[in-house]
Amino acid sequence: MTSKIIIMAERIKDAEDRLLESLFASPPLADDGFSVRVVRRVHRRLWLRRLTLPTAAIIGGAVAIKPLSGLLALASSLSSLIPMDTINMASNSIPQFQTIVLGAILLAVCLVSTRFLED
Amino acid sequence: MSTSADNELVARVVSGQDTAAFGELVRRHQSHVRNFLRKLSGDHTLADDLAQDCFIHAWEKLQTYSGRGSFIGWLLKVAYTTFLQSKRKSKRYAEIIHSAGHHADIESGSDAPANDEFTDVEKFLAVLTEEERAIMVMSYACGLSHREIGEATDLPVGTVKSVIFRGKEKIRNSFDIKDYNHG
């Protein structure tokens, strides 16, 4: 109710207000391809955004390939430190032990990538 | 300009990144935004560039439009912010040029119009501060309510009213506006 009264009070304009309105009024501007230019810029931005992630992934992958291969070599050398008995015991007690470990790694990678994509 | 039609177009853009719907929104409101920025900046080319930037910002922030106020009110808020950001940037640019000793070049290359080239509205706007100018244009040229102007400028409604009052007083004191013809 109060807001309606305020809006009505705003609508009550004096002669000076009406004169200012007519002085400030401008003829509507023709579009003349303005909206087309804006939409084109929006399209360009959409494409850039779509290309940014794969490009960054490729560049990042290319940069990271050497240190990653070094890390893998280190990990495999470390795995030789684990006694074979322990690995055999784990494989015997849980038959799909390797599959579970691989699944867990893939799940972690997926979660991290999803978070990255959301960001 | 129907708000429900605007809201429908906004919903289409937000839900499916529909560029055709966004194009329709631009077509509907480009005149208001460009006129607002032309009055604010006094430079038609700059205003049109800023209007393009404003619509790009609007595209990126469209999900923040709640649909409560009018869409044009929200859009003019984006336009005003774009204008202020650009002004801040150009001020910084001018400062860098000035410190590099090229100030004289800028002044000699200025394309400011001669005094007799100003229109009546430009003369009125010249006596106002930037904030007063924006609020007066939103009120008298764009027809926004005091509440909508408050939302667009992040000012309380009472402050908007007093700025309009002050602006009118300045125009009244500087010009005899009754001498000007309508239209």
Report which of residues A116 and B1 the model is more confident about.
Answer: A116
Please report residues of A whose CB lies closer than 8 A to that of B135: none
Has domain B1-112 been given CATH number 1.10.1740.10?
yes
Please report residues of B whose CB lies closer than 8 A to that of A44: none
Query: For B122, which residue in chain A has the nearest alpha carbon?
Result: A24
Distance CA B177, CA B123 (A): 11
Task: Decide if A86 touches B, using CB distance below 8 A.
Answer: no
Say if A42 falls within a structural domain: yes
User: Which residues span the domain enclosing A74?
Assistant: 31-81
The total of other beta-carbon atoms located within 10 Å of residue B151's CB is 20
**Whole-number pLDDT of residue A74:** 79
Alpha helices, DSSP H, located in B17-119: 19-41, 44-61, 71-99, 103-108
Say if A24 falls within a structural domain: no
Residue at B71: amino acid letter: F
Distance CA B106, CA B108 (A): 5
**Whole-number pLDDT of residue A8:** 53
How many alpha carbons fall within 13 Å on the CB side of residue B95? 6
Say if A22 falls within a structural domain: no
How many alpha carbons fall within 13 Å on the CB side of residue B110? 10
The answer to whether B142 and B36 have CB atoms below 8 angstroms apart is yes
Q: What mean pLDDT is reported for chain B?
A: 83
Which pTM value belongs to this model? 0.68
- Tens digit of each residue's pLDDT (9 = 90 or more) over A39-60: 999 999 888 888 888 888 888 8
Nearest CA to B123 out of B34, B42, B35 is that of B42
Distance CA B31, CA A30 (A): 7
Has domain B113-177 been given CATH number 1.10.10.10?
yes
Residues 6+ apart with CB under 8 A from B175: B123, B124
Q: Would you say residue B44 has pLDDT above 50?
A: yes
Query: For B34, which residue in chain A has the nearest alpha carbon?
Result: A29
Please report residues of A whose CB lies closer than 8 A to that of B22: 39, 42
Predicted complex ipTM: 0.74
Question: A110-118: which pairs have CB atoms within 8 A and are 24 or more residues apart?
Answer: A117/A53
Task: Decide if A26 touches B, using CB distance below 8 A.
Answer: yes
The two three-digit tokens of residue A31, written as one number: 């579009």
- Tens digit of each residue's pLDDT (9 = 90 or more) over B48-62: 999 999 999 999 999
**Whole-number pLDDT of residue B99:** 67
Nearest CA to B13 out of A30, A32, A42, A47 is that of A42
Say if A75 falls within a structural domain: yes
Q: Å from B121 to nearest chain A CA?
A: 6
Distance CA B124, CA B176 (A): 11
Q: Based on the domain organization, do A70 and A100 belong to the same domain?
A: no
What residues does each domain of chain B span? Answer: 1-112, 113-177
Q: Based on the domain organization, do A109 and A88 belong to the same domain?
A: yes
From the list B31, B56, B136, the residue facing A28 with the nearest CB is B31
